[in-house]
Structure 1
Amino acid sequence: MAHDCFDYVVIGAGSAGSVVAGRLAEAGKGTVCVLEAGGRDWHPAIHVPAAVVYALGNPRLDWMYRTAAGSGIAGRSILQSRGKVFGGTGAINGHVCTRGHRSDFDDWAEQGNPGWTYAEVLPYFQRLEGRIGPGDARYRGRTGPFTITDIDAPDPLCEAFMDAAASQGIERAKDYNAAIQEGIAYVQRSIHKGRRVSPARVFLHPAVRRGEVDLRLDSQVVRLCLDGNRVTGVTYRRGGREETVLARREVILSAGAIGSPHILQLSGIGDGTYLKQSGIAVRHALPGVGTNLQDHFAARIVLRIQGARSINERVRGLPLLREVAKFAFLRKGVLTLTPTLLYCFAKSDPALSRGDIQVSFTPASYPGGVWSGLDRFPGATMACWQQRPESRGHVQAKSADPFDAPEIQPNYLVADADQRAIVSAMRLARAIAASEPFAQYVEREAWPGLDAASDDELLEHARQNGNTTYHVMGTCRMGPDSDARNVVNHRLEVHGLTGLRVADTSVIPDMPAANTNVPALMIGERAADFALGRPPLPTADV
């Protein structure tokens, strides 16, 4: 049977995969096919920034994975949303753009990954971004496809919260994506002219439109094709039929921190013991596949506001009609906002060399503290988490059926250090909220309420009510093959195989103090250069 054949086959049209495919096509040095399990990105919840709350949990856009019951979170199973649409999770995320602390990348390099220091990856961050707003040219990019902007206008409650943070020794950050991350600031966001900046739209769609990429939507990967230790292609299912596409040069796996290890396991690549238990024949033993799962886990504190308007009041009745008109005619207003407006990067102990906890703030609140419909009272939310969790989990195929979701066990709050950090973050959030000039706007803490006063009570609130921030990573860990946890080398090639590279947040060795979208784009930029055999960009002098 004849099969289609391309030079490069990219699995996944999410953030990293879109960059890889777009850059490969742009180079004009080979044919490119992209396989995406989801469909077109026409849904308004993708493009209207504030409507992202209606994208999460929408089966047309979301894989709607659920985690296994977690011992650290009171036996709960929680929704772990991942984008199943053109654009992947980059089409349904919260728009926030953070790179991470410079030391995060230096740590990656020190673990046997040459070429991944901050000074070496910074040029790739600069290449991908088109920063609109203030920024030091030594750190920021102005001409890249991915537009990063600031909030259109300051918010009174946010201004008061930042002023209150100063009383806790936390100053306003000039640019948390430049020289110094610590401090508090409005989030930088992937929103331009009132609409989401989707990586798929800016990196991949132009190449598809020019006929340089064969994009196959609604095409779910079944397995990789192996000939000995070489990956030769991909079998996928579309319209009820299995089809195979071959790769002359290589397959680049960019299905995300859940999808990529699952596809490897379905292909017989992983821990032999677990594969056999799942009824999968072992083709290449690689025990690290699916291990090392990390995620930011947040506990939220909801405040009832007085003396100022929160977003809650601006999105119902006549005010909502005004906001809809403002969005329709001006592309401004509440509908262009991110779900989070402020980020505070802080230390639980002043003696630390870098921040370890984070508090986000938004002048809106949601029942149960989870993105959904807004509370009916004037509210604000503080979300609190540990920047570099020590808890590690796994992704494991439960069967040989590619349509059977894998087991996802993040092991949230299992590590003692994570428990201490999240309590410290909640105490910092409360201290800021109790400080002027913000305190005048707080009628009371609505959830969990000040009855949760001790460390144990705050930790119990986190266990019972905390939730993911959707920052999963680490499940195809980058590092030398001398460490059994590692899956890919520093050039993102899978250990022991040829013709296969992984490019997404699954390769991240250890969690950076960042959301995942911008690091994923940087990884995509690097992977494209590796695949093309290009020399690295000149190291930054910073």
Structure 2
Amino acid sequence: MAEFDYIVIGAGSAGCVLADKLSENGLHRVLVLEAGGSDRKFWIKIPIGYGRTFHDENVNWRYETSPCKGLNDQTSYWPRGKVLGGSSSINALCYFRGLPADFDSWRDLGNIGWGWEDVLPQFQRFERFVNVDGVEENTNPLHISHVYEDMHPLKDYFKRAASELGVTYNHHMNGPNPEGFGPYQITTKKGVRCSAADAFLRPALKRHNVRLESHAHATRLLFEGNTAIGVEYTQNGVTTRALASREVIVSAGAVNSPMLLQQSGVGPASLLQRHRIDVILDSPAVGENLQDHLAVSYSYIANVPTLNDELHSWTGKLWAGMKYTLLRKGPLSMSVNQNGGFVRTSDDLKQPDLQLYFNPITYSIREENNKQPAMNPDPYSGFIFSFQPCRPTSRGRLQITSSNPFDKPKIEPNYLSTDKDIADVIAGARYIKRLSQTTAMRELTKEVLEPNVSAMNDDDIVSDFRRRAGTVYHPVGTCSMGIDAHTSVVDPTLRVHGLKQLRVVDASVFPTLTSGNTNAPTMMVAHKAADLILAAADRSKP
């Protein structure tokens, strides 16, 4: 049995950061286990290609929730990365740290060291912002590009609308004041996706003390008493064990991390006993506290050409492909989520409560030759407004369905189960009404496609949202951080309550959902966790 100092389970957004930071000093042997395979695939590297990986079982866990009462008993499709880089390899590339108050709320829940002033330096240690002229601010590993100049000209209408609404147009959403409308910054390097694997894992793999095992599905954590000593995993049909002399770190994501804990005997005792799993630790919060963002889109036909005109036809796709191949420019070099922002739906609010997306494209999902569904632009000039309430108060849960670690879990997001969340939906749709009725947007709009939010009353808004809303793919909280072992899974150092040498480090530890996209704060959590882990190693030296 191979032995390492640290075993990191999952080579996603968090695991890649850990692999890099824990091995950087050359003193620690690090094993990284990833259930998926290589990320060296065309549709991963090309930024707009995530529409093609959205349903690709070769790089995607393709989870689905249970029917949700709040969404008229519909299920919700949850793509999650099963590939090097995890979901950072298949996401829509938007990079947003979060609002300062998001992290202050973590601190105020008792998680000392996780306030905004604590976490901002962590972000700054790995971010490399690349300006519109290509100038790089520093030599940090994660490239985050300003692509405003390359964005579709529809951005000018959005900028004018901001002025009409009295909202700041903010060119740097990750700057000192993230509030307002603005262009999204994206994780690309010279027109190519820069995932966590690119930024962190590949540098780590150049070191002698890092070993990566891909297609290695972790099935069970190994314990001696209450101490984690290793992991059992299946690779190419063979079951293997690896031992960790210092720590086992679960970084499998908000779905797979609680699953692995439960399969290993760490979770609600009644659930484990029902599936005849020996209870290592009765931890009732494992799989609880599930949170996610929900959004809905409204579509419009434009008076001017949009990305639909460039990308709908095969000739348009060919031209865009040639431009990308030769110059790494054009629509294929960026996300469809080009503009958006964070706004307050009421002047009485202390912080933004709504995230917006303004996309210069509309698209349909269709099957091609009986293969997996693919997104394709519509045959008319179109654009989309979308909104998501920033901080939902509904809480769901995730539970294993058997003792077989390869069976998918039961995911119950419990969307829209609080009056507050319903009120936020109404406020968000009303804001879209105001935005769509600005002079700038009325000039842009040729036709409003159904359903028309401007014609809806509050009941209509909620009914439509329940019917059409979908996840924004930001699940968090299932191994939440906190000071109470009955209501949280890990403590503020991310150690699992009641167990030794075991931490969870990924989005599952978020006690509350951050206001926007979750990739950036997930990498921050891992960067800070590495400091905590290495500090513990230093203290243990004789």
* TM-score exceeds 0.5: yes
**In structure 1, what residue type is equivalent to 2:167?**
I
User: Which of 141, 144, 148 is residue 145 of structure 1 equivalent to?
Assistant: 141
Task: Tell me, yes or no, if structure 1 residue 310 matches structure 2 residue 306.
Answer: yes
Secondary structure of the structure 2 residue equivalent to 1:82: coil
Residue 174 of structure 1: how far off its partner (Å)? 4.3
Residue 43 of structure 1: how far off its partner (Å)? 1.8
In the alignment, the residues of structure 1 paired with residue 402 and residue 519 of structure 2 have an alpha-carbon distance, to the nearest angstrom, of 30
Which deviations, in whole Å up to 9, do the C-alpha atoms of 1:31-63 show, x marking residues without a partner?
000000001112211110011111111100100
The residue that corresponds to 1:216 in the other structure is 213
The residue that corresponds to 2:354 in the other structure is 357
Cα separation, partners in 2 of 1:368 and 1:166, compared to 1, 3 Å: farther
The residue that corresponds to 1:531 in the other structure is 533
Which deviations, in whole Å up to 9, do the C-alpha atoms of 1:406-430 show, x marking residues without a partner?
1111111112211221222122123
In the alignment, the residues of structure 2 paired with residue 285 and residue 442 of structure 1 have an alpha-carbon distance, to the nearest angstrom, of 57
The residue that corresponds to 1:12 in the other structure is 10
Residue 165 of structure 1: how far off its partner (Å)? 2.5
Task: Tell me, yes or no, if structure 1 residue 458 matches structure 2 residue 454.
Answer: no
| Contact kept? 2:298, 2:453, Cα under 8 Å | no
In the alignment, the residues of structure 1 paired with residue 421 and residue 321 of structure 2 have an alpha-carbon distance, to the nearest angstrom, of 41
Judge which range, 41-50 or 271-280, deviates more. 271-280
Which deviations, in whole Å up to 9, do the C-alpha atoms of 1:151-203 show, x marking residues without a partner?
14243212102211322222212422122121000001101111000111220
Which deviations, in whole Å up to 9, do the C-alpha atoms of 1:460-518 show, x marking residues without a partner?
1111111111011011110113x522110111000000110111010010111121111
| Contact kept? 1:366, 1:372, Cα under 8 Å | yes
Residue 273 of structure 1: how far off its partner (Å)? 1.1
Secondary structure of the structure 2 residue equivalent to 1:172: coil
User: Which of 123, 129, 135 is residue 131 of structure 1 equivalent to?
Assistant: 129
User: Which of 60, 65, 68 is residue 63 of structure 2 equivalent to?
Assistant: 65
User: Which of 12, 26, 35 is residue 28 of structure 1 equivalent to?
Assistant: 26
In the alignment, the residues of structure 1 paired with residue 283 and residue 523 of structure 2 have an alpha-carbon distance, to the nearest angstrom, of 26
Which structure 2 residues correspond to residues 252-267 of structure 1 after superposition, within 5 A? 252-267=249-264
Residue 101 of structure 1: how far off its partner (Å)? 0.8
| Contact kept? 1:108, 1:117, Cα under 8 Å | yes
The residue that corresponds to 1:477 in the other structure is 480
Judge which range, 429-438 or 469-478, deviates more. 429-438
The residue that corresponds to 2:442 in the other structure is 439
Secondary structure of the structure 1 residue equivalent to 2:22: helix
In the alignment, the residues of structure 2 paired with residue 61 and residue 450 of structure 1 have an alpha-carbon distance, to the nearest angstrom, of 36
**In structure 2, what residue type is equivalent to 1:496?**
G
Q: Percent identity between the aligned chains?
A: 36
**In structure 2, what residue type is equivalent to 1:126?**
Q
| Contact kept? 2:71, 2:466, Cα under 8 Å | yes
User: Which of 57, 78, 85 is residue 83 of structure 2 equivalent to?
Assistant: 85
Residue 211 of structure 1: how far off its partner (Å)? 3.3
Judge which range, 388-397 or 418-427, deviates more. 418-427
Task: Tell me, yes or no, if structure 1 residue 190 matches structure 2 residue 192.
Answer: no
The residue that corresponds to 2:44 in the other structure is 46
Secondary structure of the structure 2 residue equivalent to 1:372: strand
Secondary structure of the structure 1 residue equivalent to 2:521: helix
Which deviations, in whole Å up to 9, do the C-alpha atoms of 1:332-364 show, x marking residues without a partner?
001012020112211121111001112111000
In the alignment, the residues of structure 1 paired with residue 53 and residue 330 of structure 2 have an alpha-carbon distance, to the nearest angstrom, of 20
In the alignment, the residues of structure 1 paired with residue 437 and residue 215 of structure 2 have an alpha-carbon distance, to the nearest angstrom, of 50
In the alignment, the residues of structure 1 paired with residue 112 and residue 47 of structure 2 have an alpha-carbon distance, to the nearest angstrom, of 38
Task: Tell me, yes or no, if structure 1 residue 403 matches structure 2 residue 399.
Answer: no
Secondary structure of the structure 2 residue equivalent to 1:247: strand
In the alignment, the residues of structure 2 paired with residue 141 and residue 225 of structure 1 have an alpha-carbon distance, to the nearest angstrom, of 44
In the alignment, the residues of structure 1 paired with residue 270 and residue 230 of structure 2 have an alpha-carbon distance, to the nearest angstrom, of 25
Secondary structure of the structure 2 residue equivalent to 1:373: strand
The residue that corresponds to 2:431 in the other structure is 428
In the alignment, the residues of structure 1 paired with residue 463 and residue 365 of structure 2 have an alpha-carbon distance, to the nearest angstrom, of 15
The residue that corresponds to 2:381 in the other structure is 378
Cα separation, partners in 2 of 1:11 and 1:134, compared to 1, 3 Å: same
The residue that corresponds to 2:342 in the other structure is 345
In the alignment, the residues of structure 1 paired with residue 84 and residue 111 of structure 2 have an alpha-carbon distance, to the nearest angstrom, of 31
In the alignment, the residues of structure 1 paired with residue 157 and residue 24 of structure 2 have an alpha-carbon distance, to the nearest angstrom, of 46
User: Which of 510, 513, 526 is residue 511 of structure 1 equivalent to?
Assistant: 513
Task: Tell me, yes or no, if structure 1 residue 169 matches structure 2 residue 171.
Answer: no
The residue that corresponds to 1:467 in the other structure is 470
Cα separation, partners in 2 of 1:450 and 1:203, compared to 1, 3 Å: closer
Secondary structure of the structure 1 residue equivalent to 2:24: helix
Residue 115 of structure 1: how far off its partner (Å)? 0.8
Task: Tell me, yes or no, if structure 1 residue 279 matches structure 2 residue 276.
Answer: yes
Which deviations, in whole Å up to 9, do the C-alpha atoms of 1:345-392 show, x marking residues without a partner?
111211110011121110001237998222222111111110000011
Question: Superposition RMSD on alpha carbons, in Å?
Answer: 1.9
In the alignment, the residues of structure 2 paired with residue 438 and residue 178 of structure 1 have an alpha-carbon distance, to the nearest angstrom, of 27
In the alignment, the residues of structure 1 paired with residue 531 and residue 189 of structure 2 have an alpha-carbon distance, to the nearest angstrom, of 27
In the alignment, the residues of structure 1 paired with residue 60 and residue 365 of structure 2 have an alpha-carbon distance, to the nearest angstrom, of 21
The residue that corresponds to 2:370 in the other structure is none
Residue 144 of structure 1: how far off its partner (Å)? 1.4
Secondary structure of the structure 2 residue equivalent to 1:203: helix
In the alignment, the residues of structure 1 paired with residue 208 and residue 464 of structure 2 have an alpha-carbon distance, to the nearest angstrom, of 52
Give the total of aligned pairs: 528
Cα separation, partners in 2 of 1:386 and 1:535, compared to 1, 3 Å: farther
In the alignment, the residues of structure 1 paired with residue 151 and residue 341 of structure 2 have an alpha-carbon distance, to the nearest angstrom, of 16
Secondary structure of the structure 2 residue equivalent to 1:7: strand
